[in-house]
Amino acid sequence: MLSTTDAIVLSLQPHSDKAHVLHAYTRAGGRINYMVYGLGRKNTSGKYSPLSLLQLTTDERSVRTAQLSYVPVSLVSDPYKRAISLFLSEVLYHVLRHPMPDEPMFDFIASSIRALDESREPENFHLQFLLGFALKLGFAMEEEVPIPRTRSERQQELRRLCAYFEEHVETWEHPRSFEVLMEVFD
């Protein structure tokens, strides 16, 4: 039986020469992994970039069709936003593990993706996102967080937020993209 749902791409990983595993956060079912066939090993298609918003038609656990529902152009073309999107998709990949629908969480993430894409000054976006994400997960920070103005303040705040997530999220893994993000904004 075919079903259709909105989805956010968390990761696309090669499975074989003709298949990939799409890790997605869906409106209808929370975190679901799907098989995607026909992309080839090197041709992974831009529509499956991290944080792409798709409308998927699926049968059981494989994707029949995937249509972009929102094209976050600057998340691919802007190196700063690209680094942020890779970091955020990695955080979401490790934190959102359950196949349980949560429409408010889906809407929060989808609207955040649009806001990042449209942002003219994204340097603190990932910090603001992590604060809002912690609130949605139910462990908001009690103290107010000052807006970082310098690179070193931004790095310090990112370290602090990642340590906070590590304390509160059992499945937390230190993001591999963390160091790249630390170096991006000079």
pLDDT tens per residue across span 136-157: 999 998 888 888 999 899 999 9
What is the structure's pLDDT at 118? 96
Residue 35 contacts residue 8 (beta carbons within 8 Å): no
Domains of the chain as residue ranges with CATH: 2-70 (2.40.50.140), 73-184 (1.20.1440)
Residue 34 contacts residue 61 (beta carbons within 8 Å): yes
What is the structure's pLDDT at 18? 84
Q: What's the mean pLDDT in 2-21? A: 93
pLDDT tens per residue across span 83-105: 999 999 999 999 999 999 999 99
pLDDT tens per residue across span 21-71: 999 999 999 999 999 998 865 655 678 999 999 999 999 889 999 999 987
Question: What's the distance, CA 169 to chain centroid?
Answer: 16
